[in-house]
A and B are shown apart, each in its own frame.
Chain A
Amino acid sequence: MEQPRHLRVLRDIAAVFVTFIFMFPILWWALTSIKPISAVFDKDRVVFFDFVPTLINYAVTLLGLSRSGIAIDQGIGMGVGGAEAYDSRRAILDSVVVSIGATAVTMAVAVFAAYALSRMAFRGRAGYLNWVLGQRFMPPIAILIPLVTIYKDAGLRDSDSLYGGYLGLMMIYALMNLPIALLLMKSFFDDVPKDVDEAAMIDGATRWQSFSKVVLPMVRGGVAASAVLVFIFSWTEFLLSLFLTTSIRTVPVKIQTFVTSTGNEWGFIAALGTAAAIPSFIFILLVQRHLVRGLTLGSLKE
């Protein structure tokens, strides 16, 4: 049904307005990251665009330069503060390792489990799905204390061994993300008609061949979308990382250390925060189409 013109215009304006409201904090964040300290802390007025942009916050957090060194070089007063404490290169590396590892583990398990739940009949299948979903009902903080003791006994904290620490974070992130990845992948597998499996079977494919050569390639968009979601959830996770690690500092935990006893380093917080949002942003753009389809859990039919 074609809507009247004024309604369509009104709808478009509303859409732009709502998007703007949602985007504004991010925009402000990005803007803050390129503001000099004087523009961040102006007690007389709110500074929008009338400042001289600087990349110093990025130089300090992403390249590990010393702020006082830069200040001396450029002959500007930028305040003082420890240099190494704001160098976030190691934190980014930690986050990349943990997030990619967690995503790989999660997807490896979720793809097979979801295929089985979608295609094979076994006792307790429906109950199993509810149970999987139930895992998402419990907030992580509820299991935090037992988890810390379990991890201590299992040697999965980085204070016991660095690799143990990485492994520990990957495992808990994988556990945390498995339910959503599993349900998403199941909905993608469910969207592939069973006739396709049967056609492959008649064509001479074994169960493994029909999975690996036919069904899995048909849901590769779904795999990508689910993997992106898992990656982003792992990338942005704060609570578990904070409690389970000491020397490994993922980016969200690292950012939190910029809130110091001598003041909040808003410029660094904004710079690292903005930089950390960029990969998620790009990934989401790439898989957007599949995400919408997946998150509606098969309720949309083409």
Chain B
Amino acid sequence: MASVTLKNIVKKYGDIEVVHGVDLTIEDGSFVVLLGPSGCGKSTLLRMIAGLESVTGGDVEIAGKRVNDKHPKDRNIAMVFQNYALYAHMTVKDNMSFSLVLAKRPQSEIDEKTGWAAKILNLEPYLKRYPRELSGGQRQRVAMGRAIVRDPAVFLFDEPLSNLDAKLRVQMRTEIKDLHERLKTTTVYVTHDQIEAMTMADKIVVMQGGRIEQVGAPLELYDRPANIFVASFIGSPSMNLIDGVVKDGMVDVDGARLALPPGSTATEGQQVVYGVRPETFTAGNDGLAGTIAVVEPTGSETHVVVRIAGREVTAVFRERVSFRPGETITLAPDATQSHIFDKASGQRLA
């Protein structure tokens, strides 16, 4: 078990800088998710922690010790890859015990540890099988087994669930979370899927363009996104972002007037972006009037896409509604749950 500290990490490929000075502390035993769109530098950051990529500038520390120049095998980490990266010619047991065999551990210890890992991961019936004889979820568990037998200080996961189908993904999500609850090993998990991040993380690190946009607990990011990027990236369906101008203490959106959220620091005449989560809209008389374009019932809730003055706004209703496309509707945002951002800088104004 160990904490991981990143100090002003920079990564360059030739002249192209892809990670621009990242500072981050990952506490001992926590489950931290690096979240962002592809190309945001999250995988590069993870690979620098693993030692698979060199660090151009700054320091990577594991358990307080600088590891920049250490070989991956000397960092006491274990990694699970997106495509599992299993050794196809070895049985499940050999896959899991490979690191112990290389370390020349006694056979009794190898048997004991692989047995323990197989038990935790429900792989006991499959120890003698080859990876090609396993399902996707079982392969993923073997990859995790390979990681846990070593009892590493840090687990690194690089998009481990993106090769699985939707149903299995939900199941494995729970299993990984459960594994972390039991082992309490510091975990860094990379994903582009905000649902995965929200459900699993103690702390989410949202990244974009090689920079950290915001760090916080899942609901913290959901309730108080620091900028437009985080606001739009977290939440599904995503937050409605409506351009407006502050006028007389209200936000003017093409003539419709919306109340400023409490604590707003927006100033008179400022160009702003007004953010409303789809589920905080209510159908009422006061607010944004428009025409219903699409109604999407999902069972538990209904998504309604409304065209308001040329822009599309999504509202989610938990109760059963009987809207039809073509009808007019007025959507009233709840100001206490709305967000306001500066249009120019994208930063939160509250």
Contacts and interface: CB of A to CB of B under 8 A. Distances in A.
A209 B73 CA distance: 13
Interface stretch (B32-40, B75-83, B185-193): B75-83
Contacts of B77: 202
Contacts of A199: 79, 81, 85-87, 146
Given A195-B83, A199-B146, A204 B102 contact: yes
A25 interface: no
A16 interface: no
Interface string A163-205: 0000000000000000000000000000001011011111111
B187 to A, nearest CB: 15
Interface stretch (A107-115, A132-140, A213-221): A213-221
Nearest to A203: B99
A203 B88 contact: no
A202 B83 contact: no
A201 B50 CA distance: 10
Contacts of A209: 102
Interface in B25-54: 50-52
B116 interface: no
Given A195-B81, A196-B85, A202 B50 contact: yes
Interface residues on B, range: 20 to 34
Interface residues on A, range: 10 to 19
A218 B132 CA distance: 12
Interface string B50-84: 11100000000000000000011100011101110
Contacts of B52: 198, 201-202
B87 A214 contact: yes
Given A198-B79, A209-B102, A203 B85 contact: no
Looking at B77, B81, B103, which has the most chain A CB atoms within 10 Å of its CB? B81
A204 B88 contact: no
Nearest to B80: A199
Contact of B88 (A198, A200, A205, A218): A218
Contacts of A217: 87, 89
A199 B96 CA distance: 11
A239 B50 CA distance: 55
Contacts of B73: 201-205
A220 B79 contact: no
Contacts, number: 58
Contacts of A195: 81-83, 85
A202 B150 CA distance: 11
Interface in B113-172: 146, 150
A199 B51 CA distance: 11
A205 B102 contact: yes
B86 to A, nearest CB: 8
Contacts of A220: 89
B87 A196 contact: yes
Contacts of B85: 193, 195-196, 198-199
Nearest to A216: B89
A209 B81 CA distance: 20
A202 B78 contact: yes
A193 B82 CA distance: 11
B96 to A, nearest CB: 10
A205 B103 CA distance: 9
Looking at A201, A202, A217, A220, which has the most chain B CB atoms within 10 Å of its CB? A202
A196 B102 CA distance: 16
B317 interface: no
A200 B102 CA distance: 10
A202 B88 contact: no
Contacts of B72: 198, 201-202
Nearest to B74: A204
Nearest to B143: A199
A213 B88 CA distance: 11
B56 to A, nearest CB: 17
A58 B71 CA distance: 63
B89 A203 contact: no
Interface in A82-120: none
A203 B146 contact: yes
A129 B122 CA distance: 46
A198 B47 CA distance: 10
A66 B103 CA distance: 65
Contacts of B78: 202
Given A198-B52, A218-B89, A220-B89, A204 B99 contact: yes
A205 B150 CA distance: 14
Contacts of A193: 83, 85
B98 interface: yes
A204 B103 contact: yes
B113 to A, nearest CB: 13
Nearest to B77: A202
A117 B141 CA distance: 32
B81 A198 contact: yes
Looking at A203, A209, A218, which has the most chain B CB atoms within 10 Å of its CB? A203
A193 B131 CA distance: 15
Looking at B73, B103, B150, which has the most chain A CB atoms within 10 Å of its CB? B73
A266 B78 CA distance: 67
Nearest to B75: A202
Contacts of B88: 218
Interface string B309-347: 000000000000000000000000000000000000000
Nearest to B99: A203
A193 B83 CA distance: 8
B90 to A, nearest CB: 8
Of all A-B residue pairs in the complex, the 4 with the closest CB atoms, nearest first, are A195-B85, A203-B99, A204-B73, A199-B85
Given A198-B79, A213-B98, A217-B87, 10 more contacts: A193-B85, A198-B81, A199-B79, A200-B98, A202-B99, A203-B73, A203-B98, A205-B102, A209-B102, A218-B89
11 contacts: A198-B50, A198-B79, A202-B50, A202-B52, A202-B77, A203-B98, A204-B73, A205-B73, A213-B98, A217-B87, A218-B87
